[in-house]
Amino acid sequence: MYPGVFRETGGSLRAARGPGFAVELSDSLFPPHFEGNAFKVPRALLEADMLYGLAGDSLAGVFLAPLEEVSPELEGLVSSYRAAVVAEERAAAREVLGPLEELVEVEQELYVAARMARLWEHFGPLYSRALSSTGKEGLSYARSLSGRERPLAPLSLPEPSERGMEELLSLLGPLARAELVGRVSLYSDPMTSVRRELGEAECERSRFFYSATVCRGSRGALVVKDYSASAYKWFLVLLPSALASPYRTDHRERAAAELAYSRALRKVVRTPEFYELVARKGSVVAVREFVEGSPVLTDPRPSLWRAAGEALARVHEEGYSLGDANPGNFVVGDEVAVVDLEQARRASEKDKAWDLATAIVYSQLMGVSCRLVGEMVRSYVESSPSSPLAQGLREHDLLDPCSFPLKIAEVLGLLRRVGLI
């Protein structure tokens, strides 16, 4: 009745075999279950799950594992199921990555691994045993698959298991990469990267509005930045500043911008190295270098404020703006570093003026002496004397913030007088 590798096995028919497991079908109805290394399942239920995902892939998912033998009668169904999974997980990855997709190169095997991670509760030990035997080549079938999502694609799939994804990546190696960051992964736990780099570490979020967590261990320190954690901050900032600067609010756009502009600005100012990017539904997390030094915002030394003004001028001279020129984002150690570039962009003169305005206003809100802010403003003008912004500040005698109110309305008014916003 069934050709190929279908064989009678005590009332069941062996339909497929993989490293350390077998799939046995029956025309009878019974609860699917494992007997030893054999997964026994009613044929009708399995086909309904493969074609329509009616069991959330909790049955069909066994065919994502490497197969050594499969019935010719079942080959077409297995191939179409695997192709549908790749199409469905590719669509899910695009939603997770958003603009980051243009920066990240994903291997087809990752889409299979993502579905495996979703089904880890059902087939984790089977996947682990099979892939321990075959390695990445066990999923090489994904490279040639081209298909479409199923008409009734599974709606009840769980989120991928972080533990499952980490185990899969340990067996398969990296399956996604980007020129701008050392490692890219989907659905895994970013703290795994921290433990890998630092060993045991203690982590502490730096400030209320900040999305960055600093982790310190015996081997150094890293920053874990969750771009979704600060989304509300940018919605609040957007309200009063929408006409002056179009802030990015989407966490994926901000992550993509930070990666791109960290690389672009590295020739004029130090920026942190990014070691890993982890994308999950509703969240993008980066693990990056911790830059040793003193944040300018909390340092009373005039020389550091002057260094920040000079660095901002270099950024502007190169044709970029920071978008968020909060002096806390300038860290001075052996050299000046800019550690937050999620709002950076190619700059108009208005964008450059807005950078200086945010530096002035934020400093005032944090209680910084106007004399220190003046050091930054004057250093900026001295470093970029021929720029329209510097000329406007000189012409309107705005080089000393102590001489005018530092509230945002007044600063915006002054910049309008200069004709820069």
- All structural domains of the chain with their residue ranges: 8-152+160-176, 177-289, 294-418
Q: Is the pLDDT of residue 238 over 50?
A: no
Confidence at 354, pLDDT banded by 50, 70, 90: confident
Q: Is the pLDDT of residue 239 over 70?
A: no
Q: What pLDDT score was predicted for residue 155?
A: 61
Q: What pLDDT score was predicted for residue 357?
A: 85
Burial of 102: CB neighbours in 10 Å, binned 0-12, 13-18, 19+:
exposed
Q: What pLDDT score was predicted for residue 5?
A: 40
Q: Is the pLDDT of residue 406 over 60?
A: no
Using N-to-C axis directions, what is the helix angle for 120-134 and 108-118, rounded to 10°? 140
Pull the structure tokens for residue 195: 């433990």
Q: Is the pLDDT of residue 3 over 50?
A: no
State how far the Cα of 216 lies from the Cα of 200, in Å rounded to an integer: 8
Q: What would the mean pLDDT of 255-273 be, rounded to a whole number?
A: 94
Q: What pLDDT score was predicted for residue 234?
A: 45
Pull the structure tokens for residue 32: 């699917």
Stated as kind and residue range, the H or E segment containing 235 is helix 231-241
Range list of β-strands (E), 281-407: 283-289, 294-295, 320-321, 330-332, 336-338, 345-346
Do the beta carbons of residue 235 and residue 308 sit within 8 Å?
no
Of 133-142, 221-230, 233-242, highest mean pLDDT:
133-142
| CATH architecture group of domain 177-289 | 2-Layer Sandwich (3.30)
Stated as kind and residue range, the H or E segment containing 13 is strand 12-18
Q: Is the pLDDT of residue 208 over 50?
A: no
Confidence at 365, pLDDT banded by 50, 70, 90: confident
Q: What is the pTM of this model?
A: 0.83
Q: Up-side HSE of residue 381: CA atoms within 13 Å toward CB?
A: 17
Confidence at 391, pLDDT banded by 50, 70, 90: confident
Q: Is the pLDDT of residue 9 over 70?
A: no
- Give the burial string for 274-305 (b: 16+ CB within 10 Å, else e): bbbbbbbeebbbbbbbbbebebbbebeeeebb
- In percent, how much of the chain has pLDDT > 70? 87
The superfamily in CATH containing domain 294-418 is Transferase(Phosphotransferase) domain 1 (1.10.510.10)
Do the beta carbons of residue 175 and residue 203 sit within 8 Å?
no
Q: Which residues pair with residue 320 across a beta bridge?
A: 346
Confidence at 64, pLDDT banded by 50, 70, 90: very high
Instruction: Look at the block and give the residue holding tokens 């992550």.
Output: 255
Of 147-151, 338-342, 366-370, highest mean pLDDT:
338-342
> Of 219-223, 311-315, 391-395, where does mean pLDDT reach its minimum?
391-395
Q: Among residues 52, 65, 73, which one has the least CA distance to residue 20?
A: 65
CA distance from start to end of the chain = 79
Residue 7's φ and ψ, nearest 5 degrees, are: -140, 150
Confidence at 262, pLDDT banded by 50, 70, 90: very high
Q: What would the mean pLDDT of 179-204 be, rounded to a whole number?
A: 89
Q: What pLDDT score was predicted for residue 410?
A: 59
Give the list of residues 6+ apart from residue 232 with CB closer than 8 angstroms, or none.
none
Task: Tell me the pLDDT of the chain averaged across its residues.
Answer: 87
Pull the structure tokens for residue 361: 């206003």
Do the beta carbons of residue 120 and residue 113 sit within 8 Å?
no
Q: Per residue in 74-105, pLDDT tens?
A: 999 999 999 999 999 999 999 999 999 999 99
Q: Is the pLDDT of residue 7 over 80?
A: no
Q: Is the pLDDT of residue 222 over 80?
A: yes
Q: Is the pLDDT of residue 161 over 70?
A: yes
State how far the Cα of 263 lies from the Cα of 212, in Å rounded to an integer: 19
Q: Is the pLDDT of residue 206 over 70?
A: no
